[in-house]
Chain A
Amino acid sequence: MLTDKEVKHIAGLARIKISAKEEKSLKKDLSSILEYIDKLNEVNTDKVEPLYQTTRLVDSFRSDEPRGEFKMDENLNERLIGQAPHQQNRFIKVKSVLFRK
């Protein structure tokens, strides 16, 4: 069973603010999922290589030339930057990163 402190810590890592009620249900749900996952410890995996992907493709490189599929113009710029919730003069506005103590 995860502790309250652990749940708070994980929520912090995940950058999600959780309410006291959510904390309680997450503690229960995450603990039961982790308990289920623990069954993997029954499997002997000594000398087994991990399988990260299944295509067997290695190093999918391409030549370093512009491909031209996306041509940046006012319209595409607007479609991309225009999605930002806070903007000013075609710039994305962010809360200050540095501030005086």
Chain B
Amino acid sequence: MEMGFTIKDVRDGLAKGHFTSEEIFKTYSDKIKKDNKKLNAYLSIFDQQSQTNEQYYITNFSKQRAPLFGIPCAIKDNMLIEGTIATAGSKILENYVSAYDATAIKKLRKAGVNFLGKTNLDEFAMGTSTENSAFGPTKNPHDLTRVPGGSSGGSASAVAADLCVFALGSDTGGSVRQPASMCGVVGLKPTYGRVSRHGLIAMAPSLDQIGPLTKNVYDSALVLSSISGQDVFDSTTVPSSIPDFTKNLDKDIRGLRVGVPKEFFGEGLDREVEEKIKSTISKLENLGAKIIEINLPNFEYALAVYYIIVPCEVSSNLSRFDGIRYGHSSKNAKNLLDTYLESRSEGFGAEPKRRIMLGAYALSSGYYDAYYLKAQKVRSLIKKDFDEAFKKVNVIVGPTAPHSAFKLGEKVSDPLSLYLEDIYTVPVNLTGLPGISIPCGNGATSGMPIGFQIIGKSFDEETLLRVSYQLEQALK
């Protein structure tokens, strides 16, 4: 599949005068109008007039210094762009107009980007296939009968089909990395606290993190540098300096210690994925890295922990949808209680309903200790496993997902089987660590892209990206 323009390509093209930012925007815009019908990657598209960013980059940067000047990009539809619709993939927000810019959006504006539109997602980012969107599923550009992964499936599909230069997604349990894996692009979840979530429609705030989906590792580093940093509107953002993440990509990885958890190669991992992951690990060895087998004894409990913590936070978060202040309000309500009951019943799809109810149950009187508290204790043990492992290694590697992209409709009737898609990505969110998925070739059986996951130490995206970049070059 033709990857199209990277950020660097567009910057070069603009610098050499091959095209103007207006022309490159129009090229993408026209392509979206033509191809989006078959992919359903975008839920809404913008025209260039609506978003001249002049006031931003002229006051803050000169054009040359704006690192993403003129780059056409796509945004997952759970992030707010002032004056435009943000649906979060839900009927309940079908007509919701964003009152302000998310911090990540403001930062991208300052960096000079142009927004092409908003991309499809599982409703409120709850899902692993984008089939839970209230606005129809997104298709995988490598095979239109298959899912793009999820929940940032629209963003991943748009990047893979070259319907944008890069996209933003959000990752609560794998929602950037898993679709990146299934669509053959690079997906990064930064360390929890690196990127502000202000203006991201919350799913599970103790886990949510915004991250870029890009065509290569260099672009990923470039976008991360632009969206990182402390924000007064998100008190979980950490006051640390933001390095230029592209600076050390070129340095070799000789002597670097790479951990391979034994537990990642157990039951449930597809044969074709295992083959690719193992051959990629041997590529790292060829690059001079030292491969070390490690143990994550509590890995098998991560998904169960996740499916307590997430529903609990979801049930609390989504209580704001009451049919009163914004969003869908039922026409059938006769009294105040009806307004809640009917509006939520009509507005939410099946998966949010499941998670809200699961959370309400787990947090209800008498169950808190057995579920929520128990889960947070096991989470503590999982964190300890990673802390121990990182005493011995610099990065941890393995598969991003247990298999390549599956067929549309194949798993939709079994929520638990869709949950299992995130088995390798969820522990990274529970521990707040940074993780990335990079394409490592196509499966021998399915012919579909397979993602290689690299997990870094807390706030060490630099090493994470350097390993990714070196590996990417070796895989070419």
Contacts and interface: CB of A to CB of B under 8 A. Distances in A.
A2 B149 CA distance: 31
Given A54-B432, A69-B232, A84-B326, A39 B301 contact: yes
A16 B232 contact: no
A67 B383 CA distance: 36
Nearest to B95: A83
B232 A83 contact: no
Contacts of B14: none
A101 interface: no
Contacts of A13: 357, 360-361, 364
A20 interface: no
A16 B344 contact: yes
Interface in A44-99: 45, 48-55, 57, 60, 62, 67, 69-70, 76, 79-80, 83-86, 92, 94-97, 99
A18 interface: yes
Interface in B348-399: 348, 350, 353-354, 356-361, 364, 371, 373-381, 383
Contacts of A79: 97, 99
Contact of A57 (B206, B235, B361, B458): B235
Interface residues of A, number: 53
A15 B357 CA distance: 9
If over half of B's interface residues share one DSSP class (helix, strand or loop), that class is named, otherwise mixed; here it is helix
B335 interface: yes
Nearest to B239: A57
A85 to B, nearest CB: 4
Contacts of A67: 232
Contact of A17 (B335, B341, B415): B341
Contacts of B291: none
Contacts of A32: 415-416
Given A17-B345, A49-B380, A55 B360 contact: no
B364 A10 contact: yes
B50 to A, nearest CB: 16
A36 B432 CA distance: 24
A92 B325 CA distance: 7
Contacts of A83: 96-97, 99, 325-327
Contacts of A95: 333-336, 338-339
Nearest to A78: B99
Contacts of B340: 15
Interface residues of B, number: 70
A40 B354 contact: no
B325 A30 contact: no
A96 B97 CA distance: 27
B412 interface: no
B236 A53 contact: yes
B356 A14 contact: yes
Contacts of B335: 95-96, 99
B348 A55 contact: no
B371 A37 contact: yes
A56 B8 CA distance: 36
Given A15-B344, A16-B341, A48-B377, A30 B238 contact: no
Contacts of B206: 52-53
Interface stretch (B27-35, B138-146, B150-158, B304-312): B304-312
Interface string A15-46: 11110001001100110111011011111010
B263 interface: no
A11 interface: yes
30 contacts: A14-B353, A14-B357, A22-B350, A26-B353, A26-B357, A29-B416, A33-B419, A39-B301, A41-B374, A42-B301, A43-B378, A45-B378, A45-B381, A48-B377, A50-B379, A51-B377, A51-B379, A51-B383, A52-B206, A53-B192, A53-B236, A54-B431, A54-B458, A57-B193, A60-B235, A69-B232, A85-B326, A86-B329, A94-B324, A99-B335
Given A10-B361, A15-B322, A52-B206, 19 more contacts: A14-B315, A15-B319, A17-B345, A22-B353, A30-B358, A33-B419, A37-B371, A48-B381, A50-B377, A51-B379, A53-B192, A53-B206, A53-B432, A54-B193, A54-B458, A62-B232, A83-B325, A84-B324, A84-B325
Sorted from nearest, which 8 A-B pairs have the closest CB atoms? A54-B432, A50-B376, A85-B329, A60-B235, A83-B326, A51-B380, A45-B377, A17-B345
Interface of A: 6-7, 10-11, 13-18, 22, 25-26, 29-30, 32-34, 36-37, 39-43, 45, 48-55, 57, 60, 62, 67, 69-70, 76, 79-80, 83-86, 92, 94-97, 99
